[in-house]
Amino acid sequence: MQPEELSKFTKEKARELGFQLVGIAPAKAFPESEFYKEWVRQGKAGQLEYMTRDPETRADITRWYPQAQSVVVCGIRYNSQKTAGTSPNGSWGRISRYATSRDYHQWLPKRLGNLLQFLKAAAPDLEGRIFTDTSPLLERMYARYAGIGWIGKNTLLIHPKMGSYFFLGGLALNRQLVPDEPLPDHCGSCTRCLHACPTEAFPRPYQMDASRCIAYFTIELKESIPEEFRSKMQNWVFGCDICQEVCPWNKFSTASQDPALAPRTETEIPLEELAHLTPEEFEKRFEGTPVRRSKWRGFLRNVLIAIGNSKNSGWTRLLQQYLRHPDPLVSEHAAWGLRQLQKNSEPAGGGTAPPAPCGGVPPR
């Protein structure tokens, strides 16, 4: 196949496989890779060790796959709709939308593999490698140059018709394809995402300090969350969507109809339920979803912070019980939650109080 024909064939097959977005970029380093290296040098990655590993490889796809001549980037929209309700007195915990369905690491690589097999069958001399966010590559950089979208001020890739609620993956190929044109930046003078972030994780437009991000605290950080940020985490117990929720471009986002992305849990769940999950119940409750990445103790840590931020004195007894927990990570955050609750609590009579916590020592 000639480059034009192979490029068209690639996009057709990608869409048949369920990818709403597909584009082609040249296989080379771009100026953004220098910004990434400086970001790492400034310590903005926090404890995201995988982001700091081998920055030269991450900045240039040909260091990862020397034969690469073209990069095919695919995007698939995930469920962007909220589920469940919101309690007026803060008795619900929030989970990022991307984490409510089956973990994309379980199915996205296979779908990309199917695309690669189609291409190999059509062009026998073609070879390539699959990448998702587990590979040492700057996917968003190549997605931008593949015409998938522009990098917004919140550092997320934004498509003018689908917003930013989608997963990315792709192929590095040893064949020359026809590259797409990058989309222009349409953020304009809007700064909603920058001002909406409670922890001020954006020191300036187009730059994020991961060490201040709520998603980083609730998912990636495995130890104690710095006290200065706990009261700002609101009721997020896994991930955070704030900078996407306020983005005007996400008003065009719609729910995914892909079977692989069928919801397995809600975006808002009563803290009463979450606070009493045993380790075994946690695994079962969030089976197959990204929520399990935080592990039970990390998730409970997040729940205790959300309870502390709830301003509802009905949680006092449960927090007192968790003070006796043998895991210091749990007992420390229970103590903070209790202090926070006592400082800011409102009478439960002003709204519907959470059910009285179960008696006895909480699950270990």
Angle at 272 between CA 269 and CA 276, to 5 degrees: 110
In whole angstroms, give the CA distance from residue 182 to residue 178. Answer: 13
Residue 93 pairs with which residues in a beta bridge? 269
- Choice among 54, 103, 125, 133 that is catalytic: 133
Sheet-wide strand order for 236-238: 236-238, 92-95, 268-270
Phi, psi for residue 128 in degrees, rounded to 5 = -170, 175
Token pair listed for 319: 């927090």
Beta-strand pair 236-238/128-131: unpaired
Query: Is 133 tagged catalytic?
Result: yes
State the greatest distance between any 2 C-alpha atoms of the chain, in Å, as a whole number: 72
For 132: left if phi > 0, alpha if psi spans -120 to 50, otherwise beta; the answer is beta
Instruction: Decide: 102 and 264 in contact? Cβ < 8 Å.
Output: yes
Token pair listed for 312: 């509802």
In whole angstroms, give the CA distance from residue 35 to residue 226. Answer: 27
Please measure the distance between the N-terminal and C-terminal CA atoms of the chain and give it in whole angstroms: 60
Residues that are catalytic: 133
